[in-house]
Amino acid sequence: MSNEEHFRKLERMYNSSQFNRFCSPKLTISKGAAELIIPIQEKFYHAGGAVHGAVYFKILDDVACYAVCSLVKDVFVSTASFSIHFFRPVAFGKMKAIGKVINASRNAFVSEASLFNDEGKEIARGIGSYTRSRVPLSPDIGYR
């Protein structure tokens, strides 16, 4: 299977998730990298009227993880750990995240991600460790 076919299958798998249908993200994958754009919706807000940190985490972890997934063609990749630094709140427009693999071995990977607002200002940054799981990439999990 070509890399491009693998990337498109990963994107379809990502889009098949129930939660992703809830928040309408657009994921694009390339070798060792991923980009995600998500429109901000009021249902993402905390009591202070800005996007909740859980949404920041989801977006950053998703692009970092799928950057790793682009390099693994046989099994699903799982997050082992992830840290975030929050820089500023956001409440309107869209958010764009960019993730890239910074270290890879057979079973362990490190990937970083940055999250930006509509003005191109970085609003958060994260770094995560990922590992190969025992879950095969198959149509059963949306990999088609």
pLDDT of residue 102: 98
Number of domains forming the structure of the chain: 1
pLDDT of residue 108: 96
Residue with tokens 């940055």: 114
- 24-33 burial, b at 16+ Cβ within 10 Å, e below that, comes to ebebebeebb
Question: Residue 37 sits in a domain of what CATH number?
Answer: 3.10.129.10
Q: How far apart are CA 62 and CA 140, in angstroms?
A: 20
C-alpha angle 55/66/105, rounded to 5°?
130
pLDDT in tens, 15-57: 998 889 888 899 999 999 999 999 999 999 999 999 999 999 9
Q: How far apart are CA 8 and CA 130, in angstroms?
A: 21
Q: How far apart are CA 26 and CA 13, in angstroms?
A: 12
CB 51 within 8 A of CB 15: no
Neighbours of 133 (CB within 10 A): 12
pLDDT of residue 22: 83
Whether the predicted pLDDT of 141 surpasses 90:
yes
User: By residue range, what is the domain housing residue 136?
Assistant: 3-141
pLDDT of residue 9: 98
pLDDT of residue 83: 98
pLDDT of residue 49: 95
CB 27 within 8 A of CB 59: no
- Mean pLDDT over the full length of the chain: 96
pLDDT of residue 144: 95
Q: How far apart are CA 113 and CA 33, in angstroms?
A: 9
